[in-house]
Each structure stands twice: as structure tokens, then as C-alpha cells.
Structure 1
Amino acid sequence: MKKIALVCSGLIFSSVANASALYFYEIGTEDTALAGAGQAARAQDASTIATNPAGMTRLPDHMFTGGLQALGGDINYQLDNDAQQSPGNVLNVTPNASGFYSQKINDNLYAGIGLYGNFGLGLDFGDWSGDRVLKKATVAALTISPSLAYKLSDRVSVGASVNANYGFLSLTRNVNGNDEKDKDHDWEASYRLGLLMDLTDQTRAGITWNSETKYDFNVNATARLPQGDYRLPISAQVNAPQQLMFSLVHDIDKQWSVMGDLGWQDWSQFGAPEIRVNGQQVNNTNRMKDTWHTAVGVQYRPTEDWRLNAGVAFDSTPYRDQSDVSLSLPTGDEWRFATGAQYQITPASNVGFAVEYLHMQSSKVQTPAIAAGSYDHPYLWFASVNYSYQF
């Protein structure tokens, strides 16, 4: 059971960067500098396609936004049994990129497309006692998001996106002293609907709904251990729940703007991450509950060329009991602290950077008993740059 659980951990870790109970908002755009605050109402560049497609009606006739991002941190698992060699930190630094284009079709209709990595992690367990079952795991995904937005009036717009999501999984293990790789991929569809309203000349509100996305990675592997050959037909599901996001942005004056979010993710529908080994469910206790997100942010414009950003966000844990979490989904309450800046290079272009620290609540794993241990003070960091050009 210990060996099976460790394989499952490697497979499901992909959900940490897709959404998992974390529901990551960071895709290399200015939103990272605000910890996501105001994401469904801000609409300051073409990346609004990913947060609220209705926001395209606030953009110039043609606009491109692109971003580059790196993710790192410490996701460290220590076994309670000190006689066993623990994996330690299994998280590698992971790159990400995004690109968005928006275009005005006529006075009321806008169209755009987004291309971005909605999850991707590299895991390296190294040369440890379980490397015959799992040594390395790589998960990557790409989302293509064609979108439309329409002005119902000068103050109200609606938008929609149809997302084609591609996921890829690769596993490497030690087989008779040599590294052996197995891989799988999956296509899944999802949808996004958005509403944007100017409540006053200085205040706007946005509401976005995202449908759920399920990735099914099927990997067949044989683990050759001293006790004998273990044939493990494993199917792991990596799920992103449906979510609602409500955002407000208020421009106090020409220099200061404040913004905030209130969000909900439907994690209770998934119960626990489902893993099947030889047709039997493993670790299928219903531990999950819905999660809530809130964020506040501020923008300060000291000059016409600079825009300074800062934000704080909180996401509640998806677990009913933090002392009994799934080995395959280490998470808890999350705090985000972010800052960054945008610089107007020319009247048509700007460049920006963002950094963010994400602290996760510690957790304990009780089952299976042979793999009992803890994730103590896990954290992640993000660093990104973005560029926008209008024409």
C-alpha cells in the first residue's frame, strides 16, 4: 500500500498547479501582482479573456498581451517512520507562458483568443527508496480559449469562452537500474461565461462562471520490487471544479484604485481524489468540502507611465479535517501576498513584472498507515513578466 500511495501522489500532484483546491489564478499576467484581486472586473489588457471575456469590450480595437512565468517552492513530505527514507521536497521549478489577442469587430461585438498553460509541474523524487515505483513525474497542459463579448449597452457587457484543454502526463521509474518512462494525454472541454457592469462612472462589477474540467490520465506500469513484480493499472483523475467569481473595482481618483473578489469553488462534488488499483478504489473517503476565495488589491499611479500593484488573497481549505488529508492532494488554507508594477513604454505598449508568495496550511496524512506522515509549512512562489501592445 505504501508503494501504491506514492505512485498516486506523483500522479495527482498535477492538480496542485491546475487548480486542485488551490485553484491557481496565476498565468503570467498582471493579475499575479494583485493576488487575483479584481480579476473579473479589471479588464486592463487582453488577458481578461481568461478571467472575464466580457471585459474585451473595454479594450482598444486590437490588443495583444503575453506573459512568462516561473513557479517554485517547497512541497516537502516526511514519513512518520524515520527508518524509511522520505521523498522530501518533490517540487521542481516549472515555467509557464500565456498569450492573448482581442479585436473589435464592430461597435458592439468583440472577439479574441487565449493560449495559456493552465497547469504544469515537474516532480523529482530522486534516488530514494521508492524510485522503482516513482522517480520523476511531469505534467503539462495547454488551453486554447476562443471568446466573444457583446455590449448590451454602454454600461453592460456579456462574454463567453469555449476552452479546449490538452493535458500531458509523463512518469519515470527505476527498472533494473535503468530509467523507464510511461506517458499519457487527454483532451477535455470547458466553458466560461462573464458579465461586466459599470455601476457608476468610477465603479464596475464583474461576475464569471467557469464549468468543471476533468482530466483522465491512464498509465499502466509494472513496479519491480525485491518482494516481486507489482502490476499497477492506475487511473487518476485530475479535476478542476466549477467556480463563480464576483469582483469589484473602484477608481478613487486618477491615481488610486481599490479592488476585491469573492469566489466559490464546488469541490464537494468530487468527494476525494479517485484512484483505482486493480479495480479497487483506494483513498476514496469523502473528505472534501466547497472552498471560498476572497482578495483585496490596490493600484497606485504615481505618474502617467507607472502603475504599481499589490494584493492579498485567502482561499479556504477543501478538507473537512486538516489532520486527515489525502497523500495525493496536499493543501489547506492558503494565503497569497503579491506585488508588481507596469511601465508604459510608449502610448501603445507597456511591460510589467509580478512576484507572489503563497503559503499553504500544514497537513497530516493518516491513511494508509504505512505511509503516514506530514506536509509541514508548504509554500509556493511565482515570478512573472508581461507585455501588452495595442494597435
Structure 2
Amino acid sequence: MQRKELARLIPAALVLMAPAASHAAGFQLLEQNASGLGNAYAGSAAVADNASTIYFNPAGMTELRERELSVGISAVRPAFKFDNDGSSGTGFLQGDTKDAGSWAYLPNGYLSWALNRDVYVGVGLGAPFGLMTEYDDDWVGAAHSIKFDIKTYNINPSIAWRVNEVVSIGGGLNWQRMEAEYERAAAVISPALAATHAILEADSDAWGWNIGALFKLSDATRLGVSYRSSIEHKLKGDLKVKGPAAGATAALTTGKAEAKVELPDSFIVSLAHRLDSRWELLGDVSWTGWSKIKEVDIVRTSGPLSGATVQTLETEFRDTWRLAIGANYQLNDAWKLKFGIAYDQTPVKDKERRLVSLPDNDRTWFTVGGQWKATPASTVDLGLAYLYVPKTKIDNNQIADGRGRVTGDYDSSVWIVGAQYSLAF
């Protein structure tokens, strides 16, 4: 019966790998499972209670049963509400804008398999980075950005080895696809040209790797450490324009283009400690190397302007830290309750270097969740998170480049709802 159930679930997991994008600290997506959401992902590299450990710490596979499958999805709703405070648009771009956030859906799937008692293999599918902001066409910052959409798809084959009863190690390769779409208003000088948009659509395939170790310090305590490498993407695609002036400027504004971006590496140290038969405490400290992204140059690669930099996105990101603590309470044989809180730094240094395409700020996670043991071999996890983001100031001056100055505040927040099904067979 369980094998028939697995046969139905694997195609479903592949269908879930549809394009998705969202917004987290920077544009990293922690929502790689729902079982960790209720704990604000505290203990992520130490818990190892289902196949999603493949993403957070592949060494954790040695704590699983012979074969395990996990599939899940998170629904994320960020809000970015801009309050103008003296911005100077370009030409006739002076309007207000609606909420630049929208719902996004992040799928994931994992399968682990024991080759013998000490060696496990597995594969994970997920979307570790993503971002989507979309504004009104004529808002005051339209020359900065109207739409910015980043999607990633990650396939992570992994292996783990139980060295002894205390230490396990693991590692994996990551094939990652990245797709980006960036749309903004071209410089305008009259109402007739106000609808002319410049658009970049580009994609890239690249490889990375990850490693981890799990230490069983006692029957009650586990320590996990893991590292995911940076991944360098060379996005290649097309520049185009649309709108009233598109035909007149197409020869100089359309063609092939590329942009290089190195997605950051990350390091996690996690602890899980069982106090008694009811309570378990979890902790997490993680670091992300966002400073690798100093700026992103969009460069023409065809036509008379080949080699010219069309635009530079001045990011100047900084490295960030994330701290999380959580607790589990075993209510009865069937139900476990989960709680968590986390502080998550933004890579954006200050209001002058904050982009309208990424109006990011520090945030605090408040989370709850539950796990239902439906059968001895299957569990269902549910999680809910609210991310509090303080008022976010922006003063991005691109007047010298003909794109105006955006000054004001963002009222931002994020809601996340996640569900996951795990099966041992």
C-alpha cells in the first residue's frame, strides 16, 4: 500500500517544481520545508526528523529510516507599501503605487535511501533564492523598477556516511537554474513616451556544493553544522523595449545582454536538546555571505553597443547573521506542538543603497506549528510565521543616471503558511 502511495506522490512532487518566487532576508528563501517553519528554522542542521534534512544538513540522513520521502509547499505573502516623501520622478512619472508584494508558492521535495546501515543517498528539489516586486507602470520610481522577478530551481543529489555512533558526515552537489526578469520605465520627456519600458529577460545554469556533519553528543543532544557554497551565475538573455518609442529606439536598445551574479554561501550551526519526554529545545546561528554581491552590471553583448554597460545595480550588500530559538512540546502520541522566534539581518547597508526592487530590512520571525503522526510511518507538518519588519526608509538617488530619486518609507511585513507530508516506506 505504501509503495502505491509513493508512486502517486513522486509525480506530484515533480509537478510542484513549477516556477515560484518570493522575498526573504535579501532574497534567500529558508522555506525549504514546513517541518522547520513552526520553529523559525531553529535547529535546522540538527533535527534530522525527515528527508528534508538533505537541504539543511545531508549528514542527518543517517538518522532516518530505510527509505523516506517528504513533499511540501509554502505560501508566502510579503507586503511592500510605499509612502512617498519628496521623491523626484523622471518626466511624467510622479504617481503613487499599490502594494508591490504578492502571493508566491514555494514547493519542495526530498527522497532518501539507505544503501546499508551506514551509507545513505538522497536527492532534494527546491527553490533556495527568489524575489518578486511589481509596481504600477507610472509610479514615481518606475525608472528604477517596475518589475523585478528572480526564480531559482535547485536539484541536490546527496550522500551521507555514519562514521561511528557519534559522528556522521554528508555532502552533495547542486545543479541550479536561475531566471531573471527586470522591467523599468525608460527615460521619459513627454506623456507620449511615459509608457516606454526597457526589459531584460535572462537565465543561467550553474553548479555548487554543500557539506555537513552531525554529532550525537548524548542521547538527548545533537549538534549539526553545515555549509552551502556560493554559486556564480552568468545570466544571458535579451534586452528589449515596448511602448510608443520602441520602434524608434529598437536598433540601439534591443539585443543580447548578460549579467554576472554570485549567489552567497551560507554556514549553519544548530543544536537540539531534549529536556524530558515532553520538551525539546532548539537553537540556530547562521551566516550568509551576501557581500559577494557588490554590484550587478547589465552588459550588451550584440549590436553596435556590444560591450557597453547598460545599467549597474548598486547593491553593495553586507554579510548577515541570523539567530533562532525554538521549542517542541509532545502533546500526546499523535501531536507535537512547535514554537519559534528568530532575528534575521538584512544585507542592505542603508537607505541610500536600498533598491526599490529589494526594499529589504531586518526582520523578526514569530512562528507556531504542529506535527501530526497520522500513522507509524507518516507525518503531516503545518507551520505559520509572521515576520515583523520595522518601517523601512529609502533615499535612492539616481538623478545623475536619468532615473530620478526615490525618497520615502516602506511599510512591510511577511506571512508564511507551510504544509508538508513525510512518509517512511
The RMSD of aligned alpha carbons is: 3.3
Question: Shift of the alpha carbon at 1:368?
Answer: 1.2
Query: What is the aligned partner in structure 2 of residue 255 from structure 1?
Result: 278
Shift of 1:121: 4.7
The answer for unaligned runs of 5 or more in structure 1 is: 1-13
- Residue 282 of structure 1 corresponds to 312
User: 1:149 maps to what in 2?
Assistant: 160
CA contact (8 A) 1:156 1:198 kept: yes
Which of 336, 353, 363 does residue 307 from structure 1 map onto? 336
- Pair 1:189–1:39, CA change in 2 (3 A): same
Q: Does 1:186 align with 2:204?
A: yes
TM-score, normalization by structure 2: 0.79
Deviates more, 1:343-352 or 1:161-170: 161-170
Residue 351 in 1 paired to residue 357 in 2?
A: no
Report the secondary structure of 1:144's partner residue: strand
**CA-to-aligned-CA distance 1:188-233 (integer Å, 9 cap, x gap):** 1111100100112211100001101233434412254669747277
* Structure 1 partner of 2:413: 379
Partners of 2:132 and 2:290 lie apart in 1 by 24
CA contact (8 A) 2:298 2:309 kept: no
Once residues 171 and 324 of structure 1 are traced to their aligned partners in structure 2, the CA distance between those partners, rounded to angstroms, is 18
Query: Which amino acid in structure 2 is aligned with residue 52 of structure 1?
Result: N
Amino acid at match of 2:239: N
* Segment drifting more, 165-174 vs 33-42: 165-174
Residue pair 1:19, 1:240 contacting (<8 A) in 2 also: no
| 2:56 is the alignment partner of 1:51 | yes
Distance apart, 1:32 and its partner CA: 1.3
Letter matched to residue 410 of structure 2: D
CA shift for structure 1 position 106: 0.8
Within-5 A mapping of 1:201-240: 201-217=219-235, 218-224=237-243, 229=249, 231=253, 235-240=258-263
TM-score between both structures, scaled by the size of structure 1: 0.85
2:305 paired residue number: none
CA contact (8 A) 1:21 1:291 kept: no
In structure 1, the residue matched to 2:111 is 101
Change (3 A) 1:178 1:237: same
Contact 2:352 2:395 in 1 (8 A): yes
Tell me which residue corresponds to 1:293.
322
Unaligned runs of 5+ in 2: 1-18, 186-192, 301-307
- Alpha-carbon distance between aligned partners in 2 of 1:360 and 1:379, rounded to the nearest angstrom: 5
Offset, 1:47 = 0.1
Kindly state the Cα deviation for residue 178 of structure 1 after the two structures are TM-superposed. 11
Secondary structure of 1:268 counterpart: helix
Q: Which whole-Å CA distance do the structure 1 matches of 2:129 and 2:290 have between them?
A: 18
Cα distance in 1, alignment partners of residues 20 and 291 from structure 2: 16
Instruction: Give the alignment partner of residue 28 of structure 2, picking from 20, 23, 37.
Output: 23
Q: CA deviation at 1:334?
A: 1.8
Name the aligned partner's letter for residue 223 of structure 2.
Answer: A
Relative to structure 1, is the Cα distance of residues 384 and 151 closer, same or farther in structure 2, using a 3 angstrom cutoff? same
Is 1:338 aligned to residue 367 of structure 2?
A: yes
Alignment match of 2:292 (pick from 269, 285, 310):
269
* 1:56-85 residue CA offsets vs partner (Å, 9 max, x unmatched): 000000100110121112123444338811
Q: CA deviation digits over 1:222-271, x for unaligned, max 9? A: 25466974727764555431111100000001110001111111222322
**Change over 3 Å in CA distance of 1:139–1:101 after alignment to 2:** same
The verdict on how the C-alpha distance between 1:104 and 1:339 changes in structure 2, with shifts beyond 3 A counting, is same
Q: Which amino acid aligns with 1:81?
A: S
Q: Which stretch has the larger CA shift, 261-270 or 322-331?
A: 322-331
Instruction: Single out whichever of 20-29 and 102-111 deviates more from structure 2.
Output: 20-29
Q: Which moved more, 1:294-303 or 1:21-30?
A: 21-30
Q: CA deviation at 1:282?
A: 2.9
Q: Any conservation in 1 of the 2:232–2:262 contact (CA below 8 Å)?
A: yes
| Residue deviations 1:61-117 (CA, integer Å, cap 9, x gap) | 010011012111212344433881133322221112111011111111000011112
Letter paired with 2:175? A
Aligned partners of 1:331 and 1:363 also within 8 Å: no
Cα deviation, 1:15-54, whole Å, max 9, x if unaligned, reads 9847763533112421111111000101010000000000
How many matched pairs?
377
User: Percent same amino acid at aligned positions?
Assistant: 27
Kept after mapping to 1: 8 A contact 2:137/2:195: no
With 335-344 and 182-191 compared, the bigger mean Cα shift is at 182-191
Call closer, same or farther: CA 1:28–1:200 in 2, change over 3 Å: closer
CA separation of 1:366 and 1:271: change in aligned 2, threshold 3 A = same
Taking a change above 3 Å as real, the CA distance of residues 190 and 15 of structure 1, as seen in their structure-2 partners, is farther
Residue equivalent to 1:81: 87
Cα distance in 1 for partners of 2:203, 2:264 equals 20
**Deviation string for 1:355-388 (max 9, x for gaps)?**
1112334131332142322342322211111000
Secondary structure of residue in 2 paired with 1:372: strand
Please tell me the residue identity of whatever aligns with 1:204.
R
Distance 1:372 1:177, change over 3 A: closer
Bigger shift: residues 309-318 or 335-344: 309-318
Q: Could you tell me how far 1:281 is from its partner in structure 2? A: 5.6
